[in-house]
Chains A and B, each alone.
Chain A
Amino acid sequence: MKPPRFDYLRVDTAAEAVEALSQTEDARILAGGQSLMAILNMRLAQPSLLVDISRSRELDQIREEGSWLRVDAATTQARVEWMPDLSRKVPMLAQALPYVSHFQIRNRGTVCGSVAHADPSAEIPLVLLALKGEVVLRGPRKQRILTADAFFQGMLSTARQPDELVESVKFPMAKAGHGYAFTEYSQRHGDFAACSVAAVVNQAGIRFAVGGVADRPTARDWPRLTGTDLEDALNDFSWELQARDDPQVSALARRHMVRNLGKKIIAQANQQCHPDSIG
Chain B
Amino acid sequence: MSSGFDRVDEMTPKKLSKDQSHLVSVCLNGRNRKAMADPRMLLTDWLRHELGATGTHVGCEHGACGACTVLIDGVAQRACLTLAVQVDGRRLDTVEGLATSDGDLSDLQQAFKRHHALQCGFCTSGILMSCSDWLGRIEDRVPTEQEVRDMLSGHLCRCTGYTPIVAALMEVAQARFERRKEYLLSINDNKESSHA
Chain A residues packing against B (C-beta within 8 Å): 1-12, 30, 33-34, 37-38, 40-42, 50, 52, 54-55, 78, 82, 98, 101-105, 107-108, 188-190
**Closest A residue to B69 using CB positions:** A104
Give the complex CA separation of A33 and B66 in angstroms. Answer: 15
Give the complex CA separation of A109 and B185 in angstroms. Answer: 38
In the bound complex, do residue B39 and residue A189 qualify as a contact, i.e. CB atoms below 8 Å apart? no
**Residue total for B at the interface (Cβ-Cβ under 8 A):** 38
**Closest A residue to B38 using CB positions:** A5
**Closest A residue to B63 using CB positions:** A38
Nearest Cβ on chain A to B3's Cβ, whole angstroms: 14
In the bound complex, do residue B40 and residue A37 qualify as a contact, i.e. CB atoms below 8 Å apart? no
**Closest B residue to A106 using CB positions:** B154
Which positions 45-73 of chain B face chain A at CB distance < 8 Å? 45, 61-63, 66, 69
Nearest Cβ on chain A to B19's Cβ, whole angstroms: 8
Given A1-B62, A102-B154, A103-B150, 12 more A-B residue pairs with CB atoms under 8 Å apart are A8-B39, A9-B15, A11-B14, A34-B63, A38-B81, A52-B86, A55-B86, A82-B137, A102-B153, A104-B66, A107-B76, A108-B75
**Does B77 interact with chain A (Cβ within 8 Å)?**
yes
Q: At the interface, is chain A mostly helix, strand, loop or mixed?
A: loop
Give the complex CA separation of A140 and B137 in angstroms. Answer: 40
Give the complex CA separation of A4 and B86 in angstroms. Answer: 16
Residues of chain A within 8 A (CB-CB) of B130 are 103-104
Nearest Cβ on chain A to B25's Cβ, whole angstroms: 14
Nearest Cβ on chain B to A53's Cβ, whole angstroms: 11
A/B pair count, beta carbons within 8 Å: 107
Give the complex CA separation of A105 and B65 in angstroms. Answer: 11
Give the complex CA separation of A37 and B63 in angstroms. Answer: 9
Residues of chain A within 8 A (CB-CB) of B61 are 1-2, 38, 41
Residues of chain A within 8 A (CB-CB) of B19 are 5
**Does B8 interact with chain A (Cβ within 8 Å)?**
yes
Among B81, B83, B149, B154, chain A packs the most CB atoms within 10 A around the CB of B81
In the bound complex, do residue A7 and residue B78 qualify as a contact, i.e. CB atoms below 8 Å apart? no
**Does B134 interact with chain A (Cβ within 8 Å)?**
yes
**Closest A residue to B61 using CB positions:** A1
Residues of chain B within 8 A (CB-CB) of A6 are 18, 39-40
Known pairs A10-B14, A12-B9; A104 contacts B39 (CB<8 A):
no
Residues of chain A within 8 A (CB-CB) of B69 are 104
**Closest A residue to B126 using CB positions:** A104
Cβ 8 A contact of A3, one of B42, B76, B77: B42
Give the complex CA separation of A190 and B150 in angstroms. Answer: 8
Known pairs A34-B63, A188-B153, A190-B154; A108 contacts B77 (CB<8 A):
yes
Residues of chain B within 8 A (CB-CB) of A40 are 40
Give the complex CA separation of A127 and B6 in angstroms. Answer: 36
Give the complex CA separation of A4 and B38 in angstroms. Answer: 11
**Closest B residue to A101 using CB positions:** B154
In the bound complex, do residue A34 and residue B16 qualify as a contact, i.e. CB atoms below 8 Å apart? no
